[in-house]
Amino acid sequence: MSIPSLSRSSAASNPHLSLSPKQYFMPQRSPIAIGVACIATLVFASASCLADTQVGAPLPPAPDILYGDLFVAVQTAQIFDDQKTFVDATPNGSPAAIVQLYEAQKNQPGFSLKSFVNQYFTPPPDQSITPPPNQSLREHIDWLWSGLTRTTTSAPDYSSLIPMPKPYVVPGGRFREGYYWDTYFTMLGLQESGREDLVDDMLDNFAYMIDTYGHIPNGNRTYYLSRSQPPFYSYMVELAAQKEGNTVYQKYLPELRKEYAYWMQGATSTPRGGATRNVVVLKDGTVLNRYWDELDTPRNESYLEDVQTAQQASGRPANQVYRDLRATAESGWDFSSRWFGDNQTLATVRTTSIIPVDLNSLLFHLETTIARGCSVTRDFSCVAQFIGYAARRAEGINHYLWNNKGYYGDYDWQLGRARDNQTPAMLYPLMAGVAWPDRAWKTAQTVQNVLLKQGGLATSIYDTTQQWDAPNGWAPLHWIAIQGLKRYGRADLAKPIGTRFLADVENVYNTQQKLVEKYVVEGAGEGGGGGGEYPLQDGFGWTNGVTLMLLDLYGNGQ
């Protein structure tokens, strides 16, 4: 087996943008009606102030850098069943000393790599918890919050864990750290359980991450710092503001603007028809976004799987495959036919060539949320700027991310054509309020005709054995669907989506006394979902949050 290079090239630091006056040209188009309910007056701005200035922030090294050949040997030999176990382990001494011992011993007769690892590393703790008997589903979720809450204001020396100043909720199972987009759906449930304190704590933690690293990483691990995840921070701020008032927008406005600058890096310097990091500038000058990762090496937490995938991708340089695999991890949909060139095979992954409908809908919401925050602070030039950004993005979404077959979807900017793969991501423009009303209704009809199954919404129309495909259904996608459909007057469709998925969750809980990461929604309610790189995980943060909301909307008083 050939071993790829682990060099980080130019990614030794994480760029971080600040806003400063600079012209940002976009072609003029006719104004369109966009859903900006939080702003009383729609103001179009002709100029923007995005900058391409980079501010370096040193990144703590990930395990592949700390351990070099030892890291490669451990992951290649599959010392642990799960590749994530080793990168979450804590060294019992300095990495340099452990590597020196490894180099001195590895060629000696009788050397055992497994014994060496067991001697010099402490594996991560078991996260399993045993609930009291006879809890109702709602009682169980309320009880789970404390078991899933972590306080890690410090971390062991050389651990991959990144400390955070306040408590946070982890998903559960193998996921021992906080995750970016998971947290929004977890917050829904925490707020419903009366835990506004934890909602505020996690908002503060993410503000800390933005201020420290320039963005919210995939999770608070060193090996996640080279990418973010779907940018739900503006939705989290909005959620807190609904309970606590508009001062929440003012409090987190600096971090919202920094996050926006992170995602828009390169917008003013990228030529038409090109891309820089998360930004794509199309041939007509339209600026939209894609998923991206700074690195083009195998993921620490899935090293062997990525090496094997690259070996199967004939004719493609391995580093290109690694970049696309990492970009898919940023999408949160790792892995799905959404990102495959042939809609079937992981080795054809081309995520960086795709402009995703969900990401751009989220950035539209970020733009309108920043405008809302600027209105609270009475910075009306900022309001005008970000309403202008949102208006132009709305036009881009409705031009490029509308599939003429009757739904919102992804666009392959390198091939210059729409992706023909129906997924619940088509409902993000409805949730964000950026969909045209007639197109929202057509999208709803596609959802009803194609994706609605006996147990809820299928994640795609393809069964590829990947976890973000059929026959699996995921709690966050159901909540996004319900919110989007209700926003556009289709509560009649939102209800069967919610009730069917809730029945699926209740069935698994009644038979197994647990909530899980994903569910099978096709057939006669077969239970927890499968596929992907790891076994089905229990816990489970975002399922807990969405389930509480569904119980409120459609439950029977549980």
**Binding site per annotation, positions for substrate:** 174, 181-182, 218, 227-229, 332, 533
Would you say residue 236 has pLDDT above 60?
Answer: yes
Q: Which has more pLDDT, 102 or 533?
A: 102
Residue pLDDT, tens place only, 427-470: 999 999 999 999 999 999 999 999 999 999 999 999 999 999 99
Would you say residue 45 has pLDDT above 70?
Answer: no
Rounded mean pLDDT of 34-46?
Answer: 34
Which among 201, 330, 469, 517 is annotated as catalytic? 517
- The pLDDT of residue 35 is 36
Tokens, residue 11: 């990614």
Tokens, residue 90: 């804590």
**Binding site per annotation, positions:** 174, 181-182, 218, 227-229, 332, 533
Residue pLDDT, tens place only, 111-134: 999 999 999 999 999 888 899 999
Would you say residue 341 has pLDDT above 90?
Answer: yes
**Taking a C-beta distance cutoff of 8 angstroms, is the pair 152, 204 a contact?**
no
Does 442 fall in a domain? Answer: yes
Residue 178 and residue 202: Cα distance in Å, rounded?
9
Would you say residue 244 has pLDDT above 60?
Answer: yes
Would you say residue 540 has pLDDT above 50?
Answer: yes
Query: Among residues of the chain, what percentage have pLDDT more than 70?
Result: 89
Q: Out of 20-24, 64-68, 243-247, 267-271, which region has the weakest mean confidence (pLDDT)?
A: 20-24
Q: Which has more pLDDT, 142 or 47?
A: 142
Does 321 fall in a domain? Answer: no
Residue pLDDT, tens place only, 493-522: 999 999 999 999 999 999 999 999 999 999
- The pLDDT of residue 526 is 62
Does 302 fall in a domain? Answer: no
Would you say residue 388 has pLDDT above 50?
Answer: yes
Angle between helices 196-213 and 180-192 (to 10 degrees): 160
Q: Which has more pLDDT, 53 or 490?
A: 490
64 is catalytic: no
- The pLDDT of residue 524 is 67
**Taking a C-beta distance cutoff of 8 angstroms, is the pair 63, 160 a contact?**
yes
Does 440 fall in a domain? Answer: yes
Does 497 fall in a domain? Answer: yes
pTM over 0.95: no
**Taking a C-beta distance cutoff of 8 angstroms, is the pair 515, 509 a contact?**
yes
- The pLDDT of residue 456 is 97
- The pLDDT of residue 140 is 96
Q: Of 424, 397, 442, 434, which Cα lies nearest the Cα of 482?
A: 424
Query: What is the CATH number for 454?
Result: 1.50.10.10
Q: Which has more pLDDT, 520 or 536?
A: 520
Residue with tokens 């979720």: 141
517 is catalytic: yes
Q: What is the DSSP letter of 150?
A: E
Which residues, at least 6 apart from 178, have a Cβ–Cβ distance to it below 8 Å? 150, 164, 168, 169, 170, 202, 205, 219, 220
- The pLDDT of residue 7 is 34
Report whether the peptide linkage leading into residue 71 is cis, meaning its omega lies within 30 degrees of zero: no
- The pLDDT of residue 26 is 28
- The pLDDT of residue 49 is 43
- The pLDDT of residue 42 is 34
- What does the angle CA 329 – CA 334 – CA 338 come to, to the nearest 5 degrees? 110
- Most confident stretch, 18-27, 35-44, 120-129, 410-419: 410-419
Residue 456 domain boundaries: 410-558
- The pLDDT of residue 528 is 87
Which residues, at least 6 apart from 30, have a Cβ–Cβ distance to it below 8 Å? none
Residue 149 and residue 513: Cα distance in Å, rounded?
20
Mean pLDDT for the chain? 90
Look at the chain and report how many structural domains it folds into: 1
**Taking a C-beta distance cutoff of 8 angstroms, is the pair 62, 23 a contact?**
no
Residue 170 and residue 148: Cα distance in Å, rounded?
5
Continuous segment of H or E residues that includes residue 279: strand 279-281
Does 518 fall in a domain? Answer: yes
- What distance lies between CA 206 and its chain's CA centroid? 14
Residues paired with residue 58 on neighbouring β-strands, in sequence order: 13
Residues paired with residue 90 on neighbouring β-strands, in sequence order: 122
Q: Of 370, 453, 431, 437, which Cα lies nearest the Cα of 398?
A: 437
Which among 301, 324, 334, 367 is annotated as catalytic? 334
Would you say residue 219 has pLDDT above 60?
Answer: yes
Residue pLDDT, tens place only, 64-74: 999 999 999 99
Measured between alpha carbons, how far apart are the two ends of the chain, in Å?
Answer: 54
> Largest Cα–Cα distance in the chain?
77
Does 371 fall in a domain? Answer: no
- The pLDDT of residue 128 is 87
Q: What are phi and psi of 340, to 5 degrees?
A: -95, 135
Rounded mean pLDDT of 297-318?
Answer: 97
Does 486 fall in a domain? Answer: yes
Q: Which has more pLDDT, 557 or 382?
A: 382
